[in-house]
Chain A
Amino acid sequence: EPEVTQTPSHQVTQMGQEVILRCVPISNHLYFYWYRQILGQKVEFLVSFYNNEISEKSEIFDDQFSVERPDGSNFTLKIRSTKLEDSAMYFCASSAKETQYFGPGTRLLVL
């Protein structure tokens, strides 16, 4: 069964550094998403992406964040200058329509 994959599974970085989180969505899906979950808290929507552009973004998704689909298979989330409060699990998801399938997540720790 096709699934969403994410790399790396864990990332530790210093405050102020740039990180790129990578995702490979399910191949015939057209909608892509990033969510995050701070430890012990809700899953929060960050951004949705369709037809090579952002469809919607939350207030969390400020200028420090960007997304890109650099080729036909990858979908990336970049955080330009990480802050301590960016420490969280980041989930990529993809969908053909309403049902979103999530990857296993990247646990980001900012020191």
Chain B
Amino acid sequence: SQQGEEDPQALSIQEGENATMNCSYKTSINNLQWYRQNSGRGLVHLILIRSNEREKHSGRLRVTLDTSKKSSSLLITASRAADTASYFCATDATSGTYKYIFGTGTRLKVLA
């Protein structure tokens, strides 16, 4: 079954450093999204990348997609303590119903 798996499961860095999180999935997709979740809170949409795109930027975020390897990465540059959260990738099926499968998430901790 289609499944997103992020690695690492947990990441701890110093403020100002870059954080890279990876996501792998199993089946073909139309697009992939990254979300952030602060502890016990809702999911905040960060960025969507379509299957025909290779890279996308939004502020300090950079997302890449390699459909041949069925993987994506999220890079947060110049991290801040406020970036501390869990980050999830979510992939849709090609059925066009907009059902998303979430990965297991990476827990990022940015130390001040």
Q: Are B98 and A102 touching (Cβ within 8 A)?
A: no
Interface hits, A52-88 → B, CB 8 Å: 55-56, 58
Determine chain A's interface SS by DSSP, over half rule: strand
Per the bound structure, the CA–CA distance linking A97 and B92 in Å amounts to 12
Q: Are B92 and A98 touching (Cβ within 8 A)?
A: yes
Give the distance to chain B from A75, nearest Cβ to Cβ, in Å: 15
Asked if A43 is at the interface of the complex by the 8 Å CB criterion, the answer is yes
In the complex, per-residue mask of A41-55: 1 if CB is within 8 Å of any chain B CB, else 0: 011110010000001
How many interface residues does B have (CB within 8 Å)? Answer: 24
A-B contact count (CB 8 A): 57
Interface size class of A (residues with CB under 8 A): 20 to 34
- Pick from A48, A55, A91, A95: contact of B43, CB below 8 A: A91
Which residues of A are in contact with B by a Cβ distance under 8 Å?
A: 31, 33, 35, 42-45, 48, 55-56, 58, 89, 91, 93, 95, 97-105, 107
8 more contacts with CB within 8 A, not counting A43-B90, A98-B33, A100-B100, are A42-B105, A44-B102, A45-B100, A45-B101, A55-B97, A93-B43, A103-B42, A105-B41
